[in-house]
Structure 1
Amino acid sequence: EQIIAGSDDADRELLLTKRAGKFLSVYAGFSDGAIAYGDKSESWPSDYDPRTRPWYQDAMAQSGLIITEPYQDFDGSIVVSFAKAFNLNKQGVLAADLAVTDIINEVLNIQLDNNGFAFLVDGNNNLVAYKDEKLSQKPLTTLNPELTRDKMANLAQHAKLETITWPKQGDQLIYVAQVPNTDWSLGVVQDKQMAFASVSEQVTFTAIASIVMYLI
């Protein structure tokens, strides 16, 4: 952040960050309306004003890293933006985009035994990633009425395996972890017959670690 905001060669730093983090795009919007992006193969509109965009406004209103809800970018792709305001030599917001499809694939690729599955929800408790794509952006309660926003917050706060009744499947074990620096949560569900020790180890060190490290 400091290197990019204070660098005379911000474009190069942005390009290196994009490649290193495998982001869809990395860019900086400035308080004078200017935009800097490292990958010149990207086609940004000539009249693009970052100050009018939610990622810029939300980041400027907060002191830390923010993550947007999924939205349609100017090129038509559905993305989420990670953004943070800076106030060094220049003032503005540094941001990076990830395609929602990439995030979904990371969640769906988590390997769990005994019919286990993972899901990712945003701050409004809407599904971002789940094995049934038809439920994307639907309330999590569509999947399980018990998993209200308050229930998910409670599960994430306690960060331990709990039993929950799943429609048509009976008792299941669920583990919920908050994605650091965001209001998103990752949930992992497995059949209760699996040994608690094995589930705890697998969920905590494999599933949670892999997706959280990817998102941050």
Structure 2
Amino acid sequence: MGDSTSTNIRNLLEGRINLVRNLAQNIAREPANAETLMDESVVTSSFLTDYLGKVDGSFSIRPNTKMPDGYDPRSRPWYKDGMNASGAILTEPYIDLATNKMVISVISKVSSSIGVVGGDLALDGLVELINSLNFGGMGYAFLINEQGKILVHPDKALVMKSLSDLYRTHTPKLSGELTEVQFNGQARLLTFAPIKGLPSANGYIGLSIDKDKAYATLSQCRYSAVIATKDARGAASRRAGFGQHHGRQPAP
């Protein structure tokens, strides 16, 4: 399940990264048509918002949204990160001023003379995607970076917290091993699968599974096996007694 979820999220993010990369290249070739290029349905349908911050401080966003007075994209972390990067990158989660939602951005420098283009992905949508596999009600998946910081989680209160914050005594390792932890008084099993091939985002899919539910089927199987063994022994004993009652020895 971890590998499948990792592949799903990688495919989604790769597609969005390629869209922003292509948008940046197209704007670099046709800067005068930047807003027309940003209006293309393949872009607007793939992101919560897409936008362009220019080196002169101007800002364009789709859908059109009133930004706070004095808003200057050049002061924003996403703009600075984009200008310093060599290609398209993913940001850490932050509150988007246009939508007031927690988002992760895909950003790319258009050119040093034009600015940075980006697209926002709502964390709510990513949570739904990451948990689109059927875990049988046993648990959930979440996204974490290589430093152990939680980026996407069904519980919004845990976003941007680290594993060491949640599990101070036995912090689980970012590996495929099953680690048993206690969380809110409940025994859970954690395991992690790497998301490979994403630029500047060495992330992992974490799976958190209710231990009791995970082993419930096995426990039921063992219980059934014990009952079946007892029934078999009882039947054998009854057969043995029946044979002796009629003066016959039971077959070996």
Determine which of 58, 69, 72 is the counterpart of 2:95: 72
CA distance in 1, matches of 2:35, 2:161: 38
Letter in 1 for 2:204: S
Deviation at 1:184, TM superposition (A): 3.2
**What's the TM-score once normalised by structure 2's chain length?**
0.60
Larger gyration radius, structure 1 or structure 2: 2
SS at 1:185 equivalent: strand
Identity among equivalent pairs (%):
27
Q: What pairs up with 1:79-158 in 2 under 5 angstroms? A: 79-87=103-111, 90-113=113-136, 115-122=138-145, 124-145=147-168, 146-147=170-171, 151-152=173-174, 155=175
The answer to which structure, 1 or 2, has the higher relative contact order (CA under 8 A, 6+ apart) is: 2
**What's the TM-score once normalised by structure 1's chain length?**
0.68
**Cα pair distance change 1:26/1:184, threshold 3 Å:** same
Quick check: 1:83–1:93 contact (8 Å CA) kept in 2?
Answer: yes
What residue in structure 2 maps to residue 19 of structure 1? 44
**Cα pair distance change 1:169/1:45, threshold 3 Å:** closer
Deviation at 1:112, TM superposition (A): 1.9
Quick check: 1:104–1:128 contact (8 Å CA) kept in 2?
Answer: no
SS at 1:166 equivalent: strand
SS at 1:162 equivalent: coil
Deviation at 1:35, TM superposition (A): 2.0
What residue in structure 1 maps to residue 81 of structure 2? 58
SS at 1:9 equivalent: helix
**Cα pair distance change 1:133/1:108, threshold 3 Å:** farther
Aligned residue pairs total 182
Quick check: 2:109–2:117 contact (8 Å CA) kept in 1?
Answer: yes
Quick check: 1:117–1:189 contact (8 Å CA) kept in 2?
Answer: yes
Letter in 1 for 2:207: V
Quick check: 2:44–2:50 contact (8 Å CA) kept in 1?
Answer: no
Q: What pairs up with 1:179-198 in 2 under 5 angstroms? A: 180-181=198-199, 182-190=201-209
Structure 1: which 5+ residue stretches go unaligned? 156-160, 195-216
Letter in 1 for 2:178: T
What residue in structure 1 maps to residue 187 of structure 2? 169
Deviation at 1:62, TM superposition (A): 1.9
Deviations 1:100-131 (A, max 9, x none): 22222322333224724211124552323334
**Cα pair distance change 1:163/1:74, threshold 3 Å:** closer
Quick check: 1:108–1:130 contact (8 Å CA) kept in 2?
Answer: no
Quick check: 1:175–1:189 contact (8 Å CA) kept in 2?
Answer: no
What residue in structure 1 maps to residue 229 of structure 2? none
CA distance in 2, matches of 1:162, 1:122: 17
SS at 2:107 equivalent: strand
Deviation at 1:25, TM superposition (A): 0.8
Letter in 1 for 2:152: A
Structure 2: which 5+ residue stretches go unaligned? 1-23, 217-252
Quick check: 2:193–2:204 contact (8 Å CA) kept in 1?
Answer: yes
CA distance in 2, matches of 1:12, 1:143: 46
Quick check: 1:15–1:37 contact (8 Å CA) kept in 2?
Answer: no
Q: What CA RMSD, in Å, does the superposition of the two structures yield over aligned residues?
A: 3.0
